[in-house]
Amino acid sequence: MISARHFKRSIIIIISTFVLLLLIFTISVATGFASLSPDRLLPTLLGNGTAKENLILFTFRLPRILIAVLAGMGLALSGAILQSITRNPLADPGILGINSGAGLFVVFFVLLFGNSTGNHLYLLPLFALIGGLITAIFIYLLSYKRGEGIQPGRMLLVGVGLAAAINGALLTLASKMAREEYDFFANWAAGRIWGDDWLFVFALLPWLAILIPFIYFKSNTLNTMALNEELSVGLGVKTNKERYILLLASVALAAASVSVSGGIAFIGLLAPHIARSLVGPRHQLFLPVAAMFGGLLLLSADTIGRVLLDTIGIPAGVIVSFIGAPYFLYLMAKK
């Protein structure tokens, strides 16, 4: 049971996080190569902007900002699920190689159809899902031991090893690419948000619209599975079945997100840890905060990257890694 005091505090944190996300959204809209005054944001959104303001907001800024927020939410929730079902505080779809597996199939997609926004774009998250799912299955099979389940250390080593192998395959594939395809691969691997068109938003949105409510519906199951295996079974949870279902949901969220945002790691590690420290481990409160912090982190990273180098920018994945890599090493040392 949640005490009334803790629940009230958690609601205040959720509202504060949402307000902070809106603030970063406003800053992101107003900054960049072409500026848009914050006081003109609402009139432009309501259709009362000039032609220049409409062009800046609806063509250049809003699709990219929405991709950053939605992809950040997807990656954060993916990491939160992985950490709960494996009871591994270091679990993250980027660190474990799931993002790399999804990226390999994103590259296959680009080689087949090109990187233009054509009719095949809605298949992109599906391609990424296949790659991420194959990787996740290998991680699960290689890290599972009968009678012991999945050991966090073994899972981490297997994931890192698979990620290295997949990245090697990606580099081999990249060496045979044409210049335009290689430029795309380099930007994707660095974590540059490349899906800055409304078609990418509409390709990603249905996945999140289905998976986020489903995962929230599974909050009680996640609460139980975050405990030890014997207690979960004793409380009537079909752990193997639920683990497969939730693993599929986690991989789908990560794969759909990186398919349009680039190879971004550490969001799935950082956001759940921040959320858990603020509202505790109960998933009914923990998941919304983790999702908002995921969107907040990726949008902030993309905005900072655009401001630091106005002409070419720094990829959001690089900015996130500056924070995430030291934190990951700290957790490694601590655990």
Half-sphere exposure of 91 (CA within 13 A, CB side): 29
Closest residue by Cα to residue 256 from 134, 75, 8, 46: 75
pLDDT at 1: 58
pTM over 0.95: no
Residue 23's pLDDT is what? 92
Q: Crossing angle of helices 179-190/98-113, nearest 10°? A: 160
What pLDDT is recorded for position 4?
78
Kindly give the confidence (pLDDT) of every residue in the chain, 335 residues in length, as a single tens digit, with 9 standing for 90 and above: 567 787 888 899 999 999 999 999 988 888 877 677 777 777 777 777 788 777 878 877 889 899 999 999 999 999 999 888 887 888 888 888 888 888 888 888 877 776 655 566 778 888 888 998 999 888 888 877 766 666 667 777 888 888 888 888 888 887 777 777 777 777 788 788 877 788 888 888 999 999 999 999 988 888 887 776 666 666 566 777 888 888 889 999 999 898 888 888 889 999 999 999 899 888 899 999 999 999 999 999 988 888 776 556 788 888 888 888 888 777 777 76
Beta bridge partners of 150: 144
Show contacts of 223-227: CB within 8 Å, 24+ apart. Answer: 223/281, 223/282, 223/283, 225/84, 225/85, 225/87, 226/84, 226/87, 226/281, 226/283
CA atoms within 13 A on the CB side of 335: 14
Calculate the alpha carbon distances from 282 to 181, 223, 244 in Å: 44, 6, 21
SS (H, E, C) 260-320: HHCCCCCHHHHHHHHHHHHHCCCHHHHHHHHHHHHHHHHHHHHHHHHHHCCCCCCCHHHHH
